[in-house]
Amino acid sequence: MTTAVLTNPYSVLVKRYFANPVHAGQLPDEYNNAVVSEVAESETGARVILYAVVDGDTVRMLRYQVFGCPHLIAAAEAFCDEAEGQPVSTLLELDVPGLMDKLTIPVEKTGRVLILEDAAKALHITVTGTKYSED
């Protein structure tokens, strides 16, 4: 059993997003034209599902479901908060280092945020039918 944490591993912002996940959950049934992407990682069991309602070139609504640590939940919440109302291309522009810096996510959790990045890219593919290069 883990019974002690030497230092608080979560920033104020992570705790705030974790406690107030306003973009968490599925889209209401009325949005039957929503697009969905899902990415999971077998090693940690982490799983991210993104749901989007797209109107023309704009992401009107963005929701997520996450099975993962508080850092991943906070990252998903922060990303959805920023990407909602933005052009679809925003889904390709998730700034992993910037998001980790903003939320003070420790470097050992980089893999979790990359899952979110993969889910966002997969959502973009679904929306646009465009493939992207792995560079």
Partner 1 sequence: MLSNNAELVYLDYAATTPVDPQVAEAMSAYLTVDGTFANPSSIHAAGRQSAAAVERAREQLAGLLNVSPHELIWTSGATESVNLGIIGAARFRSNRGKHLITMPTEHKAVTDTFQALEREGFEVTYLMPDRNGLLALDEFEAAIRDDTQLVSVMHVNNETGVIQDIRRIGECCRQRDILLHVDAAQSVGKLPTDLSVLPVDLLSLTAHKLYGPKGIGALYMADRPGCHVLPLFHGGGQERGLRPGTLPVHQIVGLGAAASLAKSRQVEDLVHLQGLEARLWSGIGNIPGILRNGSETESFPGILNVSIEGIEGESLMLALEPLCVGSGSACNSRNRESSTVLQALGRDDALAQSAIRFSFGRDTTNAEIDLAIGCYADAIVHLRAISPQQARTA
What is the binding site for partner 1 (CB under 8 A)? 1-5, 9-10, 15, 18, 21, 24-25, 44-47, 49, 65-70, 73, 106, 108-109, 111-112
Answer yes or no: are the C-beta atoms of 95 and 39 closer than 8 Å: no
| For partner 1, the closer CB: 2 or 133 | 2
CB of 109 to partner 1, least distance (A): 6
| For partner 1, the closer CB: 3 or 133 | 3
**Tokens in use for 89?**
């291309």
CB of 12 to partner 1, least distance (A): 13
Report DSSP state, residue 36: E
Q: What are phi and psi of 63, to 5 degrees?
A: -130, 165
CB of 88 to partner 1, least distance (A): 23
| For partner 1, the closer CB: 42 or 133 | 42
Q: How far apart are CA 79 and CA 66, in angstroms?
A: 13
Answer yes or no: are the C-beta atoms of 22 and 77 closer than 8 Å: yes
Place of tokens 């993962």: 68
